[in-house]
Amino acid sequence: MKHIISICLLWLCQLALFGQAQAQTYTADVYATPRSGGTTNIATTIAGEGDSISLYAYPAYGYEFKGWQVDGVILSEEAYYIYIMPGRDVVIEALFKFNPINPGDPQMPVEKFNLTVSASPKHGGSFNVSSAEVGAGQEIYLEAYPYWGFVFKGWMSGDSLLSVSESFVYRMGNADAHLTGVFVYDPQNPGDPDSPDDSEDPDDPVIPDDSTKTYTVNVSGLGGGIATGSGTYAAGAEAVLEALPDEGYSFVRWSDGVTDNPYKLIVDKDTTLKATFAPNVYMLYCIIDSVLYDSISVVYGAVPEVPVVPEKEGYTFSGWEGVPATMPARNVTVSGSYVVNVYNIVYYVNGNVYCTVEVPYGARIELIDDYDGQPGFSGWSAVPEFMPAHDLNVYATLVTSVAEISIDRFADAYSPSGVLVKKQVDIECPADYLAPGLYIIGGRKVVVGQVR
């Protein structure tokens, strides 16, 4: 019985191992879009259905990460993401967006592509370059070297003839490219016309005989400018395209990624290109009282937002002058100033307003002398040396007769700063009405009680 159980257990283990060995796995390819936008922690991996794949995205300088995408669907906008493998092969895209550090210079970094060059037939000749990594829109010099007995016939890109010259400057497009240099055996001894290998390769390109082949080039601007150079060109001809920005705009790039302006395009097919423009950024300089307060970057055509200035005691800000409704195609200076406020000193004699004098904030206070030396004049109540940022009341009494002395036994009491403390205080017994302290009563300084 034990022997039978052991056999069963062994059979179950083998079955489990067989099931594991037969588990289906799938491939996940991961790449960046655009390729110059950044990198990922893995390029390809194999996983089973339901397995977790940890993904990391690393933006290149000037780019920001936008999300992980599979089959056109954004799965996550986080740079770190755990992907659950489905039951099929998948392609995972890490999406990046160009976001320049300096918005005033929004030039797209040049994305590089692979260029390969081959000979047809293979033994027909060689080149100065067999493969290279070339930036979009950049030029590369190519030279063909025919072997003995061969002559060079032309440079081909697919079915298009680019040039028939052995020396050729090729401008890289916005994708990987392959060029073929076509050679024909042309022996120096016409009586011995056999090629080293005269068998024809059906895949060898054929130099087109139609020298009248033409292509159409259409160019336009995407707002902010126009483009010139549209027309019909002979195959292999050079079209000079130029982007002309409007006022306040700068050319950024062509839709194929090329940043040259003018753009010398070798015409080998019907081509449609659009020129991208971006508004320039200008400076708004904010000057207060001849001193630079702030400088603000403003996009052409935008409504400038001037800064809010802080309050300043005793002053009023005049407001900004020269602010444009929208930002023009130049730097702008706006100005403002703090204007000193004027406050009132109100003079009271025997409780009645005698006069009002305007004094600027911070000015030295000089009290009027209308009653100086007049008998019975008490003198003006105390005031600060310089005008504060508020109005002041100044008090005095003027005694003109003995009867008035007896009648004016009661008077209002003020603090030394001119603030009314209590009305109708008995001058002879102020302590019955006021707390200890210094007061102005009846135009005179009076000490009530014991002042510490």
The owner of tokens 């206070």 is: 365
pLDDT tens digits, one per residue of 293-342? 999 999 999 999 999 999 999 999 999 999 999 999 999 999 999 999 99
| 304/133 Cα distance (integer angstroms) | 45
Residues 6+ apart with CB under 8 A from 282: 297, 298, 300, 327, 328, 329, 330, 331, 332
CA distances in angstroms from 321 to 193, 262, 307, 336, listed in the order given:
88, 41, 13, 6
| pLDDT at residue number 18 | 44
| pLDDT at residue number 196 | 55
Cross-strand pairs, 131:
116
Residue 2 has pLDDT above 60, yes or no: no
| pLDDT at residue number 430 | 83
| pLDDT at residue number 203 | 58
Cα Rg, the chain, nearest whole Å: 46
DSSP 258-287: ---SSEEEE-SS-EEEEEEEEE-EEEEEEE
pLDDT tens digits, one per residue of 370-380? 888 788 888 88
The residue among 372, 392, 376 whose CA lies nearest residue 384 is 392
Domain boundaries, the chain: 23-98, 214-279, 281-340, 342-448
Is residue 443 very low, low, confident or very high in pLDDT (cuts 50, 70, 90)? confident
pLDDT tens digits, one per residue of 127-174? 988 888 888 878 888 999 999 889 998 888 888 888 888 888 888 888
pLDDT tens digits, one per residue of 342-392? 999 999 998 899 899 999 999 999 998 888 878 888 888 888 999 999 999
Mean pLDDT rounded to a whole number for the chain: 83
Is residue 21 very low, low, confident or very high in pLDDT (cuts 50, 70, 90)? very low
| 318/334 Cα distance (integer angstroms) | 12
Answer yes or no: are the C-beta atoms of 263 and 246 closer than 8 Å.
no
pLDDT tens digits, one per residue of 211-236? 568 899 999 998 889 999 999 998 88
3-state class (DSSP) for residue 122? helix
The residue among 71, 27, 68 whose CA lies nearest residue 49 is 27
| 54/80 Cα distance (integer angstroms) | 7
Cα-Cα-Cα-Cα dihedral of 129, 131, 135, 136, to 10°?
A: 100
| pLDDT at residue number 369 | 86
| pLDDT at residue number 198 | 47
Residue 49 C-beta-side C-alpha neighbours within 13 Å: 7
Residue 140 C-beta-side C-alpha neighbours within 13 Å: 22
Residue 419 has pLDDT above 60, yes or no: yes
| 148/125 Cα distance (integer angstroms) | 8
| pLDDT at residue number 15 | 47
The CATH number of 281-340 is 2.60.40.4270
- Evaluate whether 23-98 and 281-340 have a shared fold: yes
Q: Are strands 73-76 and 131-135 parallel, antiparallel or unpaired?
A: unpaired
| pLDDT at residue number 406 | 47
pLDDT tens digits, one per residue of 76-89? 999 889 999 999 98
> Comparing 178-192, 313-327, 384-398, 423-437, which segment has the lowest mean pLDDT?
178-192
The owner of tokens 């390769």 is: 201
C-beta neighbour count of 238 within 10 angstroms: 11
Is residue 256 very low, low, confident or very high in pLDDT (cuts 50, 70, 90)? confident
Is residue 17 very low, low, confident or very high in pLDDT (cuts 50, 70, 90)? very low
Query: Residue 236: left if φ>0, alpha if ψ -120 to 50, beta else—which one?
Result: left
| pLDDT at residue number 399 | 82
Q: Select, from the ranges 109-113, 361-365, 446-450, the one with the highest average predicted confidence (pLDDT).
A: 361-365
The CATH number of 342-448 is 2.60.40.4270
Answer yes or no: are the C-beta atoms of 13 and 20 closer than 8 Å.
no
Q: What is the reported pTM?
A: 0.47
Residue 12 has pLDDT above 60, yes or no: no
| pLDDT at residue number 405 | 46
| pLDDT at residue number 100 | 67
For the domain 23-98, what is the CATH superfamily, name and number? Listeria-Bacteroides repeat domain (2.60.40.4270)
**Cα 296 → chain centroid:** 13
DSSP category for residue 335: E
> Comparing 101-105, 330-334, 443-447, which segment has the lowest mean pLDDT?
101-105
| 256/367 Cα distance (integer angstroms) | 81
Give the dihedral sign, CA 43/46/48/51.
negative
Residue 403 has pLDDT above 70, yes or no: no
DSSP category for residue 379: -
Sheet holding 392-396, edge to edge: 352-360, 342-349, 392-396
